[in-house]
Chains A and B, each alone.
Chain A
Amino acid sequence: MRDNDPNAKSQLKTLIDQSIHIIREATAELEQPALLFSGGKDSTVLAYLARQAFWPTPIPFPALHVDTGHNFPETLEFRDKLLADFGMRLIVVSMPEMIEDGRLAEEPGAASRNRLQGQALVDTVAEHGFDGLFGGARRDEEKARAKERIFSVREEFGQWDPRDQRPELWELYNTRLGSGQSLRIFPLSNWTEADIWRYIEQRNIELPSLYYAHQRHVFERAGMLFAEGPFLPAAEGEQIRELQVRFRTVGDMTCTGAIESTAGTPAQVMEELAVSRLSERGASRADDKFAESAMEERKQEGYF
């Protein structure tokens, strides 16, 4: 593709230009933004785009990680290395600490801390005075997200009101906030899973090794493969097998499923996705399987 030709309006270039415009616009107009960083592929791509947006100067906002305490060690290692390379300050919100000192109350019997994440996030926003958080969510992931604005207003308790969203016209974003409101900004709204991988391949971006095929002890539950580990032991009757797997999404260990795969490079991952008959969330997220409105409900409660 002739990238510097007015006619070579390649899809990825269009998306990159748009995302950088969004990141700059939010940063210019907000007092104190931060980037939500999980170490997953989407937030990694977002961090690279932020670097491009302000190049050659440093990224002018910190990274924020809401740590459920159930993360894959590979992800945390990767997080620390990437942010150090980028010179970004990291603020870790430790949910285990918040549970320990009573700021969060864990639901009895709930394996996943997904629902608590919303509250931890809202508390952190209030504590640090962040008025906007960048997130790596994409509209193709889930159908409630397909309806969310790029600049999404959250009320005092972090809730999203899908019936009262601000109109979003052209590429003119309204960042003004009423009392108690804050923004979630989604620069990757129009990217698909394939676009993310195209960018990773094109820019030769390193990801946590979990995204590529590796040997792992897994067991099957509700039709999905889960990594066996201290936070998620196999139940009785669930047989542990060693398989060659990779993760399509990397989140909390307790609700992220693996898929059998031999893909070891971004190009091989793209080939695999091209023939997959399952969506990203359908293949790997137990949290969305519970109900059709699961994401919408969690978003209304303050989840990202």
Chain B
Amino acid sequence: MELLTLVTAGSVDDGKSTLIGRLLYETESVTDDQLEAVARSSGRMGLQQTNLALLTDGLRAEREQGITIDVAYRYFTTPSRSFIIADAPGHLQYTRNMVCGASVADLGLLLVDVRAGLTEQTRRHAFLLSLLGVPHWIIAVNKMDLVDYAENAFRRVQDECVQFLSQMRVPDLTFIPVSALNGDNVVTRSERMSWYAGGSILDRLEQVHIRSDRNMVDARLPVQYVLRPQPGELQDYRGYAGRLASGSLRVGDDIVVLPSGMSAGVKSIDTPDGTVSEAFAPTSVSLTLTDDVDVARGDMICRPGNQPAAIQNVDAMICWMDREPVRKGSRLLLKHTSRTVRAQLTEIAYRIDVNTLHREAVESLGANDIARVRLRTAQPVMCDDYQRNRTTGSFILIDPVTARTVAGGMVHSRSSER
């Protein structure tokens, strides 16, 4: 059985919590004691009906204020797949949470109110899903019950979205007319929209093909940990442990270790399932090599004929997440795969207005700002373009003084110049 991670986007008003509540409820993923707890809370808040949104609002402040602050993770299983829902709040001030949820998602589920059509918020969410390279999208056109399940209302929103999305990269997109409130096209197909030939949201979630999403071409193994020789039988053992970021490695392959450029051959591959002759991303492996070369944490193992760019000027889109703003010249730490290096923000090329997608010249970046920047690193980092490789194309920035994670970044291929 496969595991699919989806991120949800849309504000409270779009019916997102109702939709998630319904998905969980109708797939029998909510237990009686959880329902009772939610019913008790609903009663305390003076609500007439049980509010399924409270299933995901796990913090006391969220329940008291009726808002979602942080990404909540929910789990459910159907006979054909297991799902992780990263439920991200929709408001502008929580852009960073949406970015976090989208960074690990196979699929983005975007809710649009059929009466409101494309709002500023929808534009922002769509932009973020595209920026983070989420490979599959569902746009759920919700509240169809309020427009008498009319096809033309659905088509109008669909056309509007398609036109807007032509400005950005959207690999795979499905539109589904739904009423989260009444359950139309959420888990089961609705009988109230005979004009709609497609399946429900759950049908799509169960069937979407995610196996080919990962880059299986470029062999990349960031070294996480060196397993050192031990007294006795393992006195000559030296293993290089890490998780294959992309591609595959076989016993007998010639490899090169970056940034040193030393070559060797793959002697053995151990995985959680034992010793194998070939391992594929994203398996956690440990390799032994034919030659005694110097390999340390932070190095990258790849094939001689297919290497990432080893660069010190990194061009990237970043999402600034810290409450303290950042200016050109700031000194930061950059963590890319298993390598952390010192870095300086040398240029803020422009900031993107996430509502209009316009570019603006700015002097500093504040919380939730998205900008194109250049960073200079103290040592080379071995990067691929983010759109080609989400693992070797991403990094985080850390404030060396406060130790906080202050930004997430996506490498742009123009970085290849030194």
A61 to chain B, nearest CB (A): 12
Residue of A nearest to B74 (CB): A146
Chain B window 237-255, contacts with chain A (Cβ cutoff 8 Å), 1 for yes, 0 for no: 1010111000010000000
Residues of B within 8 A of A58 (CB): 230
Within 8 A of A (CB), among B372-405: 390-391, 394-396, 398, 400, 402-405
Roughly how many angstroms separate A245 CA and B104 CA in the complex, as a whole number?
A: 40
State which of A10, A146, A162, A283 has its C-beta within 8 Å of the C-beta of B73. A146
Roughly how many angstroms separate A25 CA and B396 CA in the complex, as a whole number?
A: 15
Q: How large is the interface on A (under 10, 10 to 19, 20 to 34, 35 or more residues)?
A: 35 or more
Residues of A within 8 A of B326 (CB): none
Residue of B nearest to A283 (CB): B33
Is B100 an interface residue, CB under 8 A from the partner?
Answer: yes
Known A10-B2, A172-B394, A192-B75; contact A296-B230, beta-carbon cutoff 8 A = no
Q: Decide: A167 and B405 in contact? CB cutoff 8 A.
A: yes
State which of A146, A181, A278 has its C-beta within 8 Å of the C-beta of B31. A278
Roughly how many angstroms separate A178 CA and B297 CA in the complex, as a whole number?
A: 23
Is B338 an interface residue, CB under 8 A from the partner?
Answer: yes
Is A204 an interface residue, CB under 8 A from the partner?
Answer: no
State which of B3, B103, B234, B271 has its C-beta within 8 Å of the C-beta of A14. B3
Residues of A within 8 A of B37 (CB): 292
Is B278 an interface residue, CB under 8 A from the partner?
Answer: yes
Residues of B within 8 A of A166 (CB): 404-405
Chain A window 12-25, contacts with chain B (Cβ cutoff 8 Å), 1 for yes, 0 for no: 01111110110011
B250 to chain A, nearest CB (A): 11
Roughly how many angstroms separate A169 CA and B297 CA in the complex, as a whole number?
A: 20
Known A4-B276, A20-B272, A28-B297; contact A162-B59, beta-carbon cutoff 8 A = yes
Roughly how many angstroms separate A66 CA and B383 CA in the complex, as a whole number?
A: 43
Residue of B nearest to A190 (CB): B84
Q: Decide: A282 and B59 in contact? CB cutoff 8 A.
A: no
Residue of B nearest to A56 (CB): B234
Known A17-B282, A57-B234, A174-B398; contact A169-B335, beta-carbon cutoff 8 A = no
Is B12 an interface residue, CB under 8 A from the partner?
Answer: no
Residues of A within 8 A of B73 (CB): 139, 146-147, 189-190
Known A172-B335, A176-B403; contact A53-B59, beta-carbon cutoff 8 A = no
Q: Decide: B60 and A4 in contact? CB cutoff 8 A.
A: no
Within 8 A of A (CB), among B259-313: 270-273, 276, 278-284, 286, 297
Q: Decide: A169 and B272 in contact? CB cutoff 8 A.
A: no
Is A54 an interface residue, CB under 8 A from the partner?
Answer: yes
Known A167-B405, A170-B103, A174-B403; contact A28-B284, beta-carbon cutoff 8 A = no
Residue of B nearest to A166 (CB): B405
B-to-A contact residues, CB < 8 Å: 1-3, 31-34, 37, 40-41, 55-61, 63, 69-75, 77, 82, 84, 96-97, 99-100, 103-104, 210-211, 216, 224-225, 227-228, 230, 234, 237, 239, 241-243, 248, 270-273, 276, 278-284, 286, 297, 321, 333, 335-338, 390-391, 394-396, 398, 400, 402-405, 408
A-to-B contact residues, CB < 8 Å: 3-7, 9-11, 13-18, 20-21, 24-25, 27-28, 52-58, 139-140, 142-147, 162-163, 165-172, 174, 176-178, 181, 189-190, 192, 194, 276-279, 282-283, 292-293, 296
Closest 3 CB pairs of A and B: A282-B33, A143-B58, A20-B284
- What are 11 A-B contacts defined by CB distance under 8 Å? A4-B278, A9-B211, A17-B243, A17-B282, A24-B224, A56-B234, A57-B237, A146-B56, A177-B403, A192-B75, A282-B32
Other CB < 8 Å A-B pairs besides A14-B3, A190-B84, A296-B59, 16 of them?
Answer: A4-B271, A21-B284, A24-B224, A24-B284, A25-B338, A28-B338, A56-B239, A57-B230, A167-B321, A170-B103, A178-B402, A194-B77, A278-B31, A279-B31, A282-B32, A292-B60
